Structure 1
């Protein structure tokens, strides 16, 4: 069983410390704020054994060296982290299985936000840590990859079971929701979700984690192959889904 400790850090990031309950092994998913992460680990009495990076951006890998030094942690992640931020103990690739004590995770290819972006799917725990590839009611801006690459990555995530809890790395949901309402105003599930998001944020509560099923029902970025979404953006029925996705992504970039 995987224990997950989530906490807010920086302006809108979430930090994640995960612990395999059988072995006591602990990993940090990304390193947005080393000071906050080390403080949370100290509060819990957890020794950080490993760092698992999703991509190279500094608010995801910038704290690696400080945590390595403080806890003697091993760092694992895509080659882009090793090349652009700091040396990794181990470069990992999509399709590989990683172990944290008795818990295991598959490395998923979710490139688009960055070319080498990966996610970690713990199938037995029905949990995935997706970095900035997928957000609650959104997805990461395409800084490096193409719309087709990002659509394929999101489709890969949408193939996971509906019950899979998705831990994304930012609290962007309220802003995403305002945009989504301009795409699918008649989506009843989305309208209900907007009300829930408003309530949660008014109480300063997180909207993360989300689930695959919830995103599939309400997130227009992953619904680009749906007739209702095509109609909302005036996309021809013959247009490939990744091109419909590109239209939605461009609209969000200037929203």
Structure 2
């Protein structure tokens, strides 16, 4: 298990999903970000002694929601989910959309609609706390696979994260770090910071840990998809250094699909 801090707990679910609990120290209210499967979430709650009050859903895919019915039955937690997910998320109590806000005790998050991986995807941005839950939109050293849109849609979603403060911690929905790092090094082989992150990721993996959360600053320095404006990334996909950033991103995403 990886503990990101005294008020956030991360742990593996299924084979590579990241489970997350976030707890407001002032009130004791606690939220799970998605419920990929019930048992690890319930185990984390038992280990910490935290009381689950909320489940915040990023998107409707089964590997993010299938544990909701059991966890809600055991805890009574309120389920908040994207309105665009329709009835694909079970046991929903509240639906949200772009510009809404959600609270976990005294912690408040902005709701961003971040489509691209799927049409209903949202991210939860706790600005004052300095954390962002990006689901399957932004990964450590990578980004989500485009499934229900053009790549440009995902790029516009990712651009929003670039505007967050560099210190913002980013929690992603899967531990794809090593495979993402291998692609990142293929696309950006001269990036010294990226080489250091690869080594760190390998050290953590050997300890049964993972490089999540990351930070916006670190992703801007090492994630090839967020570095699509850099001439080195344009060259890596055989485009001119002045090529449009969106075109470079599209080419990188297509390359990653084949990698």
Shorter-normalised TM-score: what interval?
Answer: over 0.9
How many residues of Structure 1 are paired with residues of Structure 2 in the alignment? 255
Q: 1:87: how far off?
A: 4.2
Q: CA RMSD in A?
A: 1.6
Indicate the SS of the match to 1:205.
Answer: coil
Question: Which of 170, 173, 177 is 1:173 aligned to?
Answer: 177
Give the structure 2 partner of residue 227 of structure 1: 231
Mapped to 2, the partners of 1:63 and 1:199 lie a distance apart of 31
Give matches, 1:1-255, under 5 Å. Answer: 3-237=7-241, 239-255=243-259
**Structure 1 length-normalised TM:** 0.95
Structure 1: tracts of 5 or more residues without a match: none
Structure 2: tracts of 5 or more residues without a match: none
Q: 1:107: how far off?
A: 0.8
* 2:68–2:91 CA contact under 8 A, matched in 1: no
Mapped to 1, the partners of 2:125 and 2:187 lie a distance apart of 29
Mapped to 2, the partners of 1:134 and 1:29 lie a distance apart of 15
Q: 1:169: how far off?
A: 1.5
Indicate the SS of the match to 2:22.
Answer: strand
* 1:61–1:81 CA contact under 8 A, matched in 2: no
Mapped to 1, the partners of 2:68 and 2:200 lie a distance apart of 35
Runs of 4+ residues deviating >3 angstroms:
236-239
Deviations 1:23-79 (A, max 9, x none): 111111101011221122122222211110000111111112212211111100102
